[in-house]
Amino acid sequence: MRRGNIRILVTICVFVALFILLLCLYSDQNHYLFSQKTNSYSIDLNFDRKLLDKDYELDLEDEDVLVFLHMQKTGGTTFGKHLVKNLDIDQPCECIKGKKKCNCLTRKQTVWLFSRYSTGWACGLHADWTELKGCVDKEMDKQEGLHRKRRFHYITILRDPVRRYISEWKHVQRGATWKAAKLYCNGRQASLEEVPFCFEGSTWKGVSLEEFIKCKFNLANNRQTRMLANLSKVNCYNGTGMNEELRQRLLLESAIENLKNMSFFGLTEHQRDTQLLFQHTFHIKFSKDFEQYNKTHSEKAEHKVTQEQISLIENLNALDVKLYKFAKRLFEERVKVMTEEMNEPESSPVSVIESKSREQHNETLDYVEELFKEAS
């Protein structure tokens, strides 16, 4: 090959390498700036009485069915067990030791609870709002062997976004995955091109927090917003064809709207109020009181989470931070209305919920420092 041709080839290779480098840098910067832009979204925190005073006279023997949307690491396992083991109703679930699922049937042998511990993951592992809406009725037809009129009451539990994210990281670090999740939307599953795995091999066991944070395709990012939103509004997991800022805005707006329309939601950080509000909303009681766990049962961390890492997690979960702020305020107002109706003095721990983002940040940082302090 002539010397001139070699120079041309080298020049082309250099330009291609520089182009790829700039493209990667732009992508990272755009990802960061985008998280910053979501912090400027304005959310209406004024609620009308109808939204605050949800009230249902459940008739589980007829058309009413509870549908539990269980998001990862929100305390949903504990809440789900309360539903199948501790509800004080005429026809409670029948749970047999050694079996993963309980029989939650009415006298007519129809299902009154759609959840992990009753019907199993019938619509997919940790099915989200989009998956459940397109699946529950058909799946219940299969399980009951008939088609009937049903009135679905969607319920869920939310958690502080930073705490939830760290809990998911610890869970994945121990070897857990949700690779079996369908991510079903608009008639098909998400492709690997749309949602690549963050790791090679069967698990991501031993992953550091730094590695966990760096993966752009990590489904832990803004998980609660994505799982509560109608993904059909943003072309599911296909990120092309829509401005990214518009996509994120639509996701957040949809998640908030769906949360408002749910019959009930609770907060992991406020177990007692979650129990009381559920009982007040549906006029059914639990036979056992909920307990507030101030510390998780996760194994001790090998390193300490820094304030810089907390800030990175907040940026990556900017939508969830906004969503949770809305959920906390709505939850707080519902507890106040409930307390007024019960004609009891307001002594709920929810009254100390911080409304300022800085206070929320400090509370989370204190929690994480306690959780991850090195073993002495």
Q: Is 114 left (phi over 0), alpha (psi -120 to 50) or beta?
A: beta
Dist CA 280 CA 56 (whole Å): 9
Residues 6 or more apart whose CB falls under 8 angstroms from that of 169 comprise: 207, 209, 212, 220
Residue 155 one-letter amino acid: I
What's the residue count for the chain?
376
Residues 6 or more apart whose CB falls under 8 angstroms from that of 357 comprise: 321, 325
E-assigned strands of 97-203? Answer: 113-114, 151-158, 184-185, 188-189
Please name the residue that has the structure tokens 């998956």.
131
Structure tokens at 11: 């020049």
Please name the residue that has the structure tokens 């609620």.
47
Q: Verify whether residue 126 is a known catalytic residue.
A: yes
Please name the residue that has the structure tokens 């088609």.
147
Phi, psi of 47 (to 5 degrees): -120, 140
Dist CA 285 CA 276 (whole Å): 8
E-assigned strands of the chain? Answer: 64-69, 87-88, 113-114, 151-158, 184-185, 188-189, 264-267, 285-286
Q: Which of 31, 70, 82, 126 is catalytic?
A: 126
CA dihedral 356, 358, 360, 365 (to 10 degrees): -170
Positions marked catalytic: 126
